[in-house]
Chains A and B, each alone.
Chain A
Amino acid sequence: MIRLQDVHKSFKGNPAIQNLTLQVEKGEILGLLGANGAGKSTTINMLLGFLSPDSGSVSIKQLDATQRASEVRQLVGYIPENVNLYSYLTGVENLDYFCRLAGLRYAKKELEDVLTTCGLQSEAHHQKVANYSKGMRQKVGIAIAYAKKAEVYLLDEPASGLDPLASNELSDLLKKLASEGATILMASHDIFRVREVCHRIGILKKGTLIKEIRSDAISASELEQLYLEFMKN
């Protein structure tokens, strides 16, 4: 579903991604671990078609992400670290607006159901987003991707700044989406969350994928040890 083959990308001569090859299959969650500047966001931006690789290929569902960016974007739901919604709109109105931009029209009840599915409590549906916590905004962000019936979810530090309860709810939701057939790539530096949610984990360092492992083959403490070792060397 998601494929990156021998991808290189540099900014003003500084390499950001080097020889990156990875793939994520349907129903699978891949976690990309890495420090700040490791190339996680650059990878996601290339998958979204906002950046083009210097060499190599980036595709989603066999569609070249650079050449056929608009088609690719229709398949993708993107959840950034901070989902910045329109503070003067309610949760339902925000969801409605983003859906309409994507050419989707839902009845009010359907929008409320999507928000509920994504974990937003019903009493918050018609409150202005200005009063939302970060976790609530993230849930609306996920609802936007969910309502789009995205086949692929790209998450860039989605749990950053969330309280443990909200973070846990997010994990449950991602697992549920994957079980329904969604392909998910999640960039994060939260080792424990990645270990808990993802099927496979890749460790990125200075734009290079230095390790790829199955999460059921490693414990959280082993993963932490491994990650710290790679980062130190």
Chain B
Amino acid sequence: MWQIIKNEGYFLSRSRTLLGTSLAFLLMLFLTLFLGHQQTQQQTQAYQTAKDHLRAQWEGIKEMNPHGAAHYGTYVFKPANLLGSLDEGVNTVTGNVLRVEGHVQNEIVHSEASQMQSISKFGKLKSSLLLQFIVPLLLIFLAFHTVSSEKQSGRLKLLVLQGAKPFSLIFAKTLAIWSYGLLLLMAVLLVYTLFNFQNLDAEVLTRSVLFFLSYALYYFILTGLTVFFSSRWQNATVALTSMLGIWIVWTIFLPNILMSSVEKWHPLPSRNEFKTAMKEDRSKGLDGHNPTDERKKELEEATLKEYEVDSLSQLPINFDGLLMQADEEYGNQVWDKHFGQLRTVLTQQKQSLQLGGSINPFIALQNASRGFAASDNLHHQEFLVQVEQFRRVFIKALNDKHAYGGSKTGDWGWKADNAFFKSIPDFKYQPITLASVFSHYVLDLAILMLWSILTVVLLILGARKMQIV
């Protein structure tokens, strides 16, 4: 088998067309990785500058009413993941900046898609485009005639006569062409490592390994299936047409069909429905700016009873702060309810889509690629949750200061000092642990492995049924 792999290696290394294609690919790859790296660096730098500026502004507040500060709010930025330059995933459409303030959970804004003047339907050239579409096509074009050409030329007979076993022959050819795909992957890894050498750590390296493992498995499946068709059909054109048909179904039709089906099985509310439902639920609760609210009365009575006084003016604290915090907490419950439902639907959608990988390994690849590159919806939702947790702590600190800082009810002119504002911690994103990411995407890896095993089985069957004459 090694001899056949070596011979295929000679073919690949001595083909000028392939050499030219490989060089063009590597050039494009270098360019996309460079641009991706530059974008990540610029984004990280820009966000850091903006973050520092905002923090300096916050810490520069000499005196301000805490509730005024809650409306003043702050911004948090979604950190760019190092592997994001390999697969941008949902990041291009989800946005990166979130305004944090009192009373309201804002939506994330400033997505790349919303900023760009799109001149092409296919968007810009990205590493993921090369890895998920261009390399597989290259592998299909390399593999489709690999066995059928041996048949058509009559060389297959000679090879078998010399002792080559049909399975060894087609498996070795699969391995040889797959190795070419692996070489391209290794080139990606090398260039990526060179660009990000200073920022690499164990987590990023492990994610990279899992990222490349997913691609390696997918490339094996595609190469093996193409070689299988090549061994099955006498005519190379039929093998190419069959495989291109499968590739088109896998990459274009099935993902769209599956996504549409998944959305139908687990429908998400429209943005308008979601906001209206949140607003309705929230309107039933307390409103810090609405003195007629019944819940306000309940809180007022409970507070007066607790402090054993008859009126708000007799309270040693500022009731407005308590009222606003109670409103926040009710709002938080509303958010938890709706956002929780949203997350449940998103989880159901993700699980259904993952199962779709059993009929389409491309979906399993896309899931794993985005997951390990931290550019998937899981990471995005986690960011939103962490921001909301931060917002709650942030606003509670301000409301508590308003309530217990020394002012009295109705005293909107009272101001907290600079030391208080400095004491409020800034937002710090805690990345999802690798174990958690792995647990979410182990199914996709398992599906890719199962497909790989199925491919080997097909190659065995292909070898058994291969017609030598």
- A residues neighboring B (CB under 8 Å): 45, 48, 50-51, 70, 73-74, 76, 78, 80, 82-86, 88-89, 93, 97-103, 141, 144, 148
Q: How many A-B residue pairs have CB under 8 A?
A: 58
Interface core residue of A45, A51, A97 (most chain B CB under 10 Å)? A97
- Taking A88-B11, A88-B14 as contacts, is the C-beta distance between A98 and B157 under 8 angstroms? no
B248 at the binding interface (Cβ < 8 Å): no
Supply 11 further A-B pairs (C-beta < 8 A) apart from A74-B163, A88-B14: A50-B468, A50-B469, A51-B469, A82-B154, A86-B7, A88-B11, A98-B158, A98-B159, A98-B162, A101-B4, A101-B159
Binding site for A on B (CB under 8 A): 3-4, 7, 10-11, 14-15, 153-155, 157-164, 468-469
Set B4, B10, B158, B163: member contacting A88, Cβ < 8 A: B10
Q: Specify which chain B residues have a CB less than 8 angstroms from the CB of A80 in the assembled complex.
A: 154, 157-158
Given known pairs A50-B468, A88-B14, the reply for A97 and B7 (CB within 8 Å) is yes
A158 nearest CB across to chain B (Å): 13
| B11 and A102 contacting across the interface, CB-CB below 8 Å | no
Known: A84-B154, A86-B11, A88-B11. A48 touches B161 (CB 8 A): yes
- Tell me whether A78 and B163 are in contact (CB under 8 A): no
Question: A93–B153 Cα gap in the complex (Å)?
Answer: 19
State how many angstroms separate the Cβ of B117 from the closest Cβ of chain A: 47
26 A-B contacts (beta carbon < 8 Å): A48-B161, A50-B157, A50-B468, A50-B469, A51-B469, A73-B160, A73-B161, A73-B163, A78-B161, A82-B153, A82-B154, A84-B154, A84-B158, A86-B11, A89-B10, A93-B10, A97-B7, A98-B158, A99-B162, A100-B3, A101-B3, A101-B4, A101-B163, A101-B164, A102-B162, A144-B162
Residue of A nearest to B153 (CB): A84
Q: Which residues of A contact B10 (CB under 8 A)?
A: 86, 88-89, 93
Given A84-B155, A86-B11, A100-B3, A76–B161 Cβ distance below 8 Å?
yes
Main secondary structure of the interface of B (DSSP, over half): helix
Q: What residues of chain B lie closer than 8 Å to A148, measured between beta carbons?
A: 162
- Across-interface contacts of B7 in A (CB, < 8 A): 86, 89, 97
Q: How far is the CB of A34 from chain B (nearest CB, A)?
A: 18
Bound CA–CA A45/B469 (angstroms): 8
Which A residues are CB-close (under 8 A) to B161? 48, 73, 76, 78
Q: List chain A residues, Cβ under 8 A from B157.
A: 48, 50, 78, 80
Most chain B CB neighbours (cut-off 10 Å) among A50, A73, A83, A85: A50
Considering the complex, give the chain B residue whose CB is closest to the CB of A100.
Answer: B3
Q: How far is the CB of A94 from chain B (nearest CB, A)?
A: 9
What's the least CB distance linking A56 to chain B, in Å? 19
6 closest A-B pairs by CB: A84-B153, A101-B162, A88-B14, A50-B469, A102-B162, A100-B3
Report how far A48 CA is from B158 CA in the complex, Å. 10
Inside 8 A of A89's CB, which chain B residues have their CB? 7, 10
Per the bound structure, the CA–CA distance linking A102 and B162 in Å amounts to: 5
Q: How far is the CA of A50 from the CA of B468 in the complex (A)?
A: 7
Bound-state CA distance A76–B4 (Å) is: 21
Shortest distance from the beta carbon of B5 to any chain A beta carbon, whole Å: 12
Which of B14, B15, B155, B163 contacts A102 (CB under 8 A)?
Answer: B163
